[in-house]
């Protein structure tokens, strides 16, 4: 019992936190500097998600002007739909950042050293987490402000919206960690799981509302947890009443919280099992 208390005190000591936070910042700074070196790739990764969103906007705004209705969406609500989709796309990048950063560390032969101790692993994971947030911060805030300009909401709702975005980000981080271990240990499986994730993502009504799809396809969409996760984000913004939204849409919130709890836990478990069994393959 005494040893446990000593370890807890050590974890919460200022020197311990400063040491580990400095390592996390070092990895984050390194990743940011590397991404800034390849400016075209960085620009492409931010602009590319805009292309399908712009095309969808042009098509559906044209339909709205022609008097076509899509459920309860009008042109203003659809712009909110689109702008939140772009921010979700920005957050989704982290799911692909993990495997590419792991493979980069693998190429430089620095990955084994980073995997020696548990805290070294956490330094790497949290460093990737933080570096991605830094990279997407400006476009993310810009689109939050654009959405707010189109449809102003209360400060409480805005804080809650950012909280939901962070939960979605946590889910994508878990998925990225899952992809990451396969990228360095079982590369063929990484490609397969990536395709499955892309399919789930794009049939979640991230860009087009469910009313656009044939009715026979609605059941498939409604079996996809991402559909409810993205839906509750938009509903919260449109209703602008957190308590009302939670009361009226408890199922979506349950899906959001359960997914954010289960996905990182499964990813951490799979990461440990796959890495311990296969290690780093391909040197």
56 belongs to a structural domain? yes
Note the pLDDT of residue 103: 82
Q: Would 224 be classed as within a structural domain?
A: yes
Identify whether the C-beta of residue 177 lies closer than 8 Å to the C-beta of residue 269: no
Residue 264 structure tokens: 């990182």
Does residue 57 or residue 275 have the better pLDDT? 275
* pLDDT over threshold 70, residue 282: no
- The DSSP element (H or E) to which 219 belongs, if any, is helix 215-222
Residue 283 lies in a domain: no
* Mean pLDDT calculated for residue range 67-83: 74
pLDDT digits over 134-158, tens only?
889 989 999 999 999 989 999 999 9
Q: Which of 108, 124, 100, 88 is nearest to 42 (CA)?
A: 100
Number of domains composing the chain: 1
pLDDT tops 90 at residue 75: no
Is residue 184 in a domain? yes
- The pLDDT of residue 197 is 94
> In this structure, is residue 33 part of a structural domain?
yes
| C-beta neighbour count of 146 within 10 angstroms | 15
pLDDT at 2 over 60: no
Write the DSSP string, 27-38.
Answer: HHHHHHHHHHHS
pLDDT, the chain, mean = 83
Residue of higher predicted confidence among 172 and 81: 172
> Residues 4-54: pLDDT tens digits?
554 445 555 666 677 778 888 888 887 888 787 877 777 777 787 778 777
Mean pLDDT within 55-82:
72
At residue 178 the predicted structure's pLDDT band, cuts being 50, 70 and 90, is very high
Rounded-to-integer distance, Cα 264 and Cα 7, Å: 25
Greatest mean pLDDT among 5-14, 15-24, 161-170, 273-282: 161-170
171 belongs to a structural domain: yes
Average pLDDT over residues 54-77: 69
pLDDT in tens, 236-251: 999 999 999 999 999 9
pLDDT digits (tens, 9 = 90+) for 201-228: 989 988 888 888 888 889 999 999 999 9
The Cα 152–Cα 147 span in angstroms is: 8
Residue 182 falls inside a structural domain: yes
- Please report whether residue 213 resides in a domain: yes
Name the residue range of residue 191's domain.
2-278
For residue 219, count CB atoms less than 10 angstroms from its CB and return exposed for 0-12, middle for 13-18, buried for 19 or more: exposed
pLDDT greater than 80 at residue 76: no
């Amino acid at each position: 019992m005494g040893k446990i208390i000593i370890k807890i005190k050590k974890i919460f000591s200022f020197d311990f936190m400063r040491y580990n936070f400095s390592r996390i910042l070092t990895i984050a700074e390194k990743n940011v500097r590397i991404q800034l070196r390849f400016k075209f790739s960085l620009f492409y990764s931010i602009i590319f998600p805009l292309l399908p969103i712009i095309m969808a906007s042009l098509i559906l705004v044209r339909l709205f002007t022609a008097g076509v209705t899509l459920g309860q969406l009008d042109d203003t609500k659809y712009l909110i739909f689109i702008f939140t989709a772009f921010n979700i796309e920005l957050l989704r990048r982290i799911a692909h950042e993990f495997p590419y950063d792991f493979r980069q560390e693998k190429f430089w032969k620095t990955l084994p050293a980073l995997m020696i101790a548990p805290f070294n692993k956490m330094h790497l994971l949290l460093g990737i987490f933080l570096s991605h947030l830094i990279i997407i911060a400006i476009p993310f805030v810009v689109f939050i402000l654009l959405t707010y300009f189109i449809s102003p909401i209360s400060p409480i709702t805005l804080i809650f919206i950012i909280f939901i975005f962070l939960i979605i980000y946590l889910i994508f981080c878990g998925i990225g960690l899952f992809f990451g271990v396969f990228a360095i240990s079982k590369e063929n499986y990484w490609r397969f799981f990536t395709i499955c994730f892309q399919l789930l993502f794009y049939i979640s009504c991230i860009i087009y509302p469910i009313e656009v799809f044939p009715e026979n396809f609605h059941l498939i969409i409604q079996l996809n947890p991402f559909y409810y996760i993205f839906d509750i984000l938009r509903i919260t913004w449109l209703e602008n009443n957190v308590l009302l939204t939670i009361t009226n849409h408890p199922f979506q919130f349950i899906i959001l919280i359960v997914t954010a709890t289960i996905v990182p836990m499964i990813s951490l478990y799979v990461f440990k099992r796959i890495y311990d069994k296969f290690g780093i393959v391909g040197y």
